[in-house]
Amino acid sequence: MSKITVSTLNKMKAEQQKITALTAYDASFAKLFHDNGVDVILVGDSLGMVLQGGDDTLGVTNQDIAYHTRSVRAGSRDLFVIADMPFMTYSNPEQSCKNAAELMRAGANMVKLEGGEWLYDSIVALTQQGIPVCGHLGLTPQSVHVFGGFKIQGRSDEQAQKMIHDAKALEAAGAQMVVLECIPSELAKLITDALSIPTIGIGAGKLTDGQILVMHDLVGISAGYIPKFSKNFLLETGNMPDAVKKYCADVKNGAFPSTEHEFK
């Protein structure tokens, strides 16, 4: 497997090759994913729920993400690693650059920020300093208390138009990828078609440029609630390597996500 870069991912979008992504938090799973076809690993602040047992992601610190990014990078030198910037670590350009630098030094190839047009100045500053940025629109878990829970976003015309506007603003600021979470499939397609940078969907249908799942959902070991958009690939295959291979194959050939995993 050759090293995956931003250029690799842009080429995949241009050639309509689906991008496969999973969350990971340690070296062992990073190596497993590397060896079985995953293109991108996200060191997600989801660790606050699936590893730390929290009700949301808000308790995760930049030091937590840096620690797990270092661990993931040790498991794979070639995978493209995105590190989440946690809650309130990027409220202004100066803070964004300081905290993103810590994650890049830990081994990230890119940092991910939740939010729309208001991030413009921070994204400009980050990219000027040589830090690639992934945006995140739709259900942004750090805003869970504003949304009143984990709810589907973008169903009204007003919300949809704002999200399209925000996506274009993120790209104009210099973002090189956008995650779309829990939005109607039709809206995800509109955004994907409007951008020249790759979109990665989670609960956003199959017409994005790639897919991501939380690894615990992939193997059916998430505590409590299992999202509609997830699938237990371990149940189908019986072992971890084959579960990862099956997920990657199904994303690449369009079998996953299916209509049962999407929102209207």
Tell how far CA 185 is from the center of its chain: 17
Structural contact between residues 183 and 152, judged by C-beta atoms closer than 8 angstroms: yes
Phi, psi angle pair for 81, to nearest 5°: -110, 125
User: How far is the C-alpha of 24 from the C-alpha of 213, rounded, in Å?
Assistant: 10
pTM for this entry: 0.95
Q: Is 181 a catalytic residue?
A: yes
Tell me whether residue 209 is annotated as binding: no
Tell me whether residue 206 is annotated as binding: no
Q: What integer pLDDT is reported at residue 145 of this predicted model?
A: 53
User: How far is the C-alpha of 65 from the C-alpha of 83, rounded, in Å?
Assistant: 7
pLDDT tens per residue across span 32-61: 999 999 999 999 999 998 899 898 899 999
Tell me whether residue 114 is annotated as binding: yes
Tell me whether residue 45 is annotated as binding: yes
Sign, CA torsion 4/5/11/14:
positive
Q: What integer pLDDT is reported at residue 223 of this predicted model?
A: 62
Question: 108: which DSSP letter?
Answer: -
Enumerate domains of the chain plus CATH numbers.
6-261 (3.20.20.60)
Selected catalytic residue, list 181, 236, 260, 262: 181
Q: What integer pLDDT is reported at residue 147 of this predicted model?
A: 53
Q: What integer pLDDT is reported at residue 1 of this predicted model?
A: 62
Longest dimension (CA), the chain: 47
Tell me whether residue 46 is annotated as binding: yes
Tally of CB atoms within 10 A around 97: 16
> Which parts of the chain have pLDDT scores under 50?
none
| H or E element that contains 31 | helix 27-35
Sign, CA torsion 20/50/30/245:
negative
